[in-house]
Amino acid sequence: MAHVSEDPRRGWDSWLNRVLARPSFQDFASRTPFLRRLARRDGLDIFDIVQGFVRSQVLYALTELDIPARLMDGPASAEALALNSGLSHDRMAILLQAGAGIGVLKRCRDGRFALTRKGAAMAGVPGLRQMILHHGAFYRDMADPLALLKGEAETELAGFWPYVFGATGEADTEVTRVYSDLMADSQRLVAQDTLATVSLEGVRHLVDIGGGSGAFLAEVAKPYPRIRLTLFDLPAVVPSARERIGSLGLAERIGIVGGSFRDDPLPGDADAMSLIRVLYDHDDASVAALLAKVHDALPPGGRLVISEPMSGGETPDAVTDVYFAFYTLAMRTGRTRSAAAIKTMCERAGFREVTNHPPRRSFVTSVVTAVRSG
């Protein structure tokens, strides 16, 4: 019988981990100049992870009290910012000091507080305030992460997103409006990165499946004035889509078709279709069925554009494999997939020339494109 040797690297890693975990080694490292710097850095990194939830809650409190907006015109004292906030000035001072600690505020020499560059930039990100406030539900869902992983938790996000569940039934119009507005604000960044990654030159008719209130198509309309554009989404989404598209003066450019991709035929006569932040809302069986349906609806050579945050796969990503992985888990309908996994699913649906494009900003979106087989 052939002898199978153990991976020597694995043995080395195991030995090194045991050494690093010894209190005696940590004590030695704290007294050795070079190792002391490494130990201090590792310690700070570990504590930064430990306090991550508190950092996000500080940001939440600052946002709920509109502190960034109130500081846009210049520095202010804790006393002034405490007025009408429901906080005493000393408690406001604690919050502002923490805001400076996380880098969105800075303390002036006279004791007042002002916005940092990062804090000012926050005000310029469309929908960021609404997104931060919306995360109150996500934070509560993460209170017991093991229950979430085991599927035992009744999550608020699952209740907040009946829009997704509405794919198999009636969806509340007001809830879908909130969802669509929230997504529309963030979709601008997604659209910008998507359109900077792929070209739609030569496309005659683009159908955006699950297009919400039309934010992606509105961005496509700017550089591609000759492409016919159609939005396809649930009937409950149509009113908010029609309202937003009309307010942008694009009613003549963007057609709207109400329907469910599960039960209704996709709009015909399209030579390109897009799925923008759609696949990660759904389970594997639903995604496989949707990709097959898109493949069959496109003509030979027709193009598919998939754009959403994707797992790093074999190279774990600090954002998508943490934030988005658990967010979709809390939604209880979908999952964050790697570009490689999406490529495999596209190929199984019959697509060819499936390409994973390097993301510009993985925390915004990644893009996979494919071509319908002949």
pLDDT of residue 168: 43
Distance CA 220, CA 141 (A): 35
Instruction: Give 370's contacts (C-beta < 8 A, 6+ positions apart).
Output: 303, 304, 306, 343, 346, 351, 352, 353, 354, 355
Q: Smallest Cα–Cα separation from 93: which of 108, 110, 75, 112? A: 112
pLDDT of residue 204: 97
For 171, other C-beta atoms within 10 Å of its C-beta total 21
Instruction: Write down all domains in the chain, each with its CATH number in brackets.
Output: 23-124 (1.10.10.10), 128-372 (3.40.50.150)
Residuewise pLDDT in 10s, the chain (374 residues): 445 445 666 666 666 556 556 677 556 656 676 656 666 677 677 877 888 889 999 999 999 999 999 999 999 999 999 999 999 999 999 999 999 999 999 999 999 999 999 898 887 776 678 778 888 888 899 999 999 999 888 888 887 665 544 444 454 555 555 555 666 667 788 999 999 999 999 999 999 999 988 989 999 999 999 999 999 999 988 888 899 899 999 999 999 999 999 999 999 899 999 999 999 999 999 999 999 999 999 999 999 999 999 999 999 999 999 999 999 999 888 899 999 999 999 999 999 999 999 988 888 899 999 999 87
pLDDT of residue 46: 80
pLDDT of residue 374: 74
